[in-house]
Structure formats: C-alpha cells, structure tokens
Structure 1
Amino acid sequence: MMDELELLKKDWKSRESKLPKLSYDDLYGMIWKRSSSIVKWIFIISVIEFVLPHVLYLLPVAREGMEFYETLGLKNIMWGITVAPYPIVIYFIYQFYQRYREISARDNARDLMHKIIRTRKTVKNYIIFALSVFLISFLLIAVGIAFSDGDTFVHALNMEKKALEQPIDNLKWVVAGILIAMGILCTAFLGLIYFLIYGLLLRKLDKNYSELKRLEI
C-alpha cells in the first residue's frame, strides 16, 4: 500500500513539473482581461435595456396601451413616467462606460480592486433606481385611474354605465388595486431578471476581486 502511495506521489510531482508556471503578471493579466470583459458586457446590457422599450413602443399592442391611458386623461403622467428618468438612466449608462474605460486601463492589482468595487456599487445603485422607477410607474398609474373622471373611465373601457355591476368609483379603486398588485409582482419579476443577469456578472467580478486579494497577500 505504501509503495503504491509513493508511486502516486512521484507521478503527481512529475505531472506538476510539466504544468506551465504562471507568474504574478500572468495571473494579474488574466484577471484584468476578465474584469474588463465583464464590465464591457454590463455597459452593453444597460444600452440594450435602454433601447429595447423604445422598440417595443412600435408594436401595435404598446401603442394601444398608450392610447388607453391617454383616454383616461393620464397623458401627462405617462409622459412624465417615460421621460423623467431619461437623464438619470443616461447618466448611469455613461457611468458604466466610464467604469469600462477605467478598468480597461491596466494598473496595479490594488487599483483594479478599487475599480471593481466602484463598478459593483454603480451597478447596485442602478438596479435600485430601475426597480424603484418601475414600481413607482405602476403606483402613479393606479392613483391616476383611482382619481380619474368616472365617465372618462367608462369610455376608456368601452363600456356603458348600465352594464356595470357596481358603482364606477368602486370599480376604479378595484382596477387601481389590481394595478398596484401587478406592479409589485412585475417589480419582483424584474428584480429576479436583474439578479440573474447583472448578479451573474457581479459574482464573476467578486471572484476576480477575491483572486486579486490573494495575489496581493
């Protein structure tokens, strides 16, 4: 048994000696390239996320939805929800681009660790902002429906007052409540998507950060 163990040790050592020896610079270079690639993808995904809703607005279903809210007299609210976040979203996209440029410039390991921390913080702030805007949008629409004019509300639903089984005001609050519930569920679903996409990239950055930390020890 001991002879077999010694043979295994010798075989392992012989194989180990044939493996390529990676220097500090080699390891750092690999981590730097991986980190740069990850941040580039974060930037690309944020741009796609900004452009995609505008493409969806071209679909007939989306246009009909906008017309429905306009009929309810919520045109200003819808424009506010759509346009108001633009400056902040563009600012975050610019920040992602800046993080990519910063992390693409090869520095020492300690500086790269600092840039990874900054990138993680920017991504987390963006996710919190995006989810907050998404949920607030549903809440504003729900409030707008709840306090909308009764006749306008019935007209928007293409119904007649006689066909309603309950008072218009009650129906408005029911619809508003449904929208709030949908908003919470949709925000949770969007948060899950962010967790899967951005979370995966952040976990890879965390792994790079840990490897850099070991290099510095």
Structure 2
Amino acid sequence: MDELDQFKKQWKENENFMKLNQSEIKAILHKSSTSIVKWIFIICCLELLLGISLSFILPSEKEEFLAFELLNWTYEIISYIAIFYFIYIFFKLLKKIKNTNNTKSLMEAILAVRKNADHYIKFNLWCINYVIIISLLHNIVAEFYESHSWSMVLFILILGSILSFTFGYVFIKLAKGYYHLIYGKLLKKLNHNYEELTRLEEES
C-alpha cells in the first residue's frame, strides 16, 4: 500500500484525521511515481547484468556455420543496443519525473514510461521467439549437414517443431508471468498515479 492509499484508509477510519490539499497529494504522487520509475530502471539494469554474466559463465561452443554465427552476433549486438537504449530512456524519464514540478510534465513522463515499458516487454518476448526459431533451424541444418538425409531432416523438423512449440510456449508463458508480476505491478501503480493526477487536474 502506497502513501496516498494509507492516507485514504485513515480518512475512512478516522474523520478527524488531517486532510491533504491538492499540492500535498500531488507531492505524494510525484514521490511515488519517481520511486516506481527508479525500480523499473534498477530491474532493467539487473536484467542486463544477468545477461552479460550468463554469457561469460555459460560454456559456448564454436559455431560451425558462418550464417548462424553472423546471426548470433547480429542478435547479440541488436539486443544489447536495444537494452541499453531502454535503460537510457528510463533513466532520462526518471530524471524528468524527479526534477519536474509541473503536473502536466509529470503526467506526460508517466505516459512515456508506461509506453516504453510496454515496448521493452514486447521486445524481450520477441527475443525469446527469435532464439527458439533460430535454434530449431540450426538443428535442422546441422542434421542435414551431417547425414544428408532428407527423411532425417523431415523427422528433425517435425520433432523439433513440436518440442520448440511446447517448450517455447511454456517458456514464453513463464516470461509473460514474470513481466506481469514485476512490471505489471509497477505499471499498475504508475497508472493509478496518472489517474489520480488526471482527476486532480480536472478538479482544479
């Protein structure tokens, strides 16, 4: 429960409890929004550090196919650039929210955070789908390269598609659950702050 919700609860329980004016409520919403964006920024940084750490910890095999090696390098470059971009955007929005005293600017920043967080989640889910598809294609090419048997390739294609769909579906569901649990909760609070600010602006 955030600070504003605590005040609302105490208002209902005790009519003599001090009331807050619009400026004080906006200050609470400002503080809460800053905290939420800060947490989004921290989580993005931790996810990036985890990805970098895993790339050094997990053993890597030499890629025998040049095309897949180029795809892997391209994917890594694009993914890291994208993640650094999102971290930079969230950092800029965090500074904007932290330093603004203007309600309109605060509301615009909240909308921008919500929009970019949605893009960040969709980008990560796209990355998961890409890795699953490339892994399946790699197995098919490797099998054909070793056996030159179209029947075996067809078998790998069917079996690989079933396994990729099954594990991919489960993994994506888990990823969506993670993003819903972590980012969904934060964005829900941020959306609540936006609605409160909208209501206050309409009343003023």
Common topology (TM > 0.5): yes
Structure 1, residues 19-74: CA drift from partner, whole Å, max 9, x if none?
A: 22312211111110000000011011011111102212343xx31xx32x735774
**Aligned-residue offset at 1:185:** 2.4
Whether 2:9 is the aligned partner of 1:25: answer no
Whether 2:153 is the aligned partner of 1:169: answer yes
Segment of structure 1 superposing worse, 21-30 or 177-186: 177-186
Percent of residue pairs bearing the same amino acid type: 30
The 5 Å alignment of 1:1-217 reads 16-17=15-16, 19-59=17-57, 62-63=58-59, 66-67=60-61, 70=63, 74-150=68-144, 152=146, 168-177=152-161, 178-216=163-201, 217=203
CA distance in 2, matches of 1:200, 1:136: 27
Answer with 1 or 2: which has the greater Rg: 1
Alignment gaps of 5+ in structure 1: 1-11, 154-160, 162-166
**Aligned-residue offset at 1:89:** 1.6
Asked if the contact 2:93–2:113 (Cα under 8 Å) also holds between the matched residues in 1, the reply is yes
- Give the partner amino acid of 1:127: I
- Give the partner amino acid of 2:179: Y
Alignment gaps of 5+ in structure 2: 1-10
Paired residue total: 188
- Give the partner amino acid of 2:102: N
TM-score (norm 2): 0.80
TM-score (norm 1): 0.76
In the alignment, what sits opposite 1:4? none
CA distance in 2, matches of 1:206, 1:105: 20
RMSD: 2.6
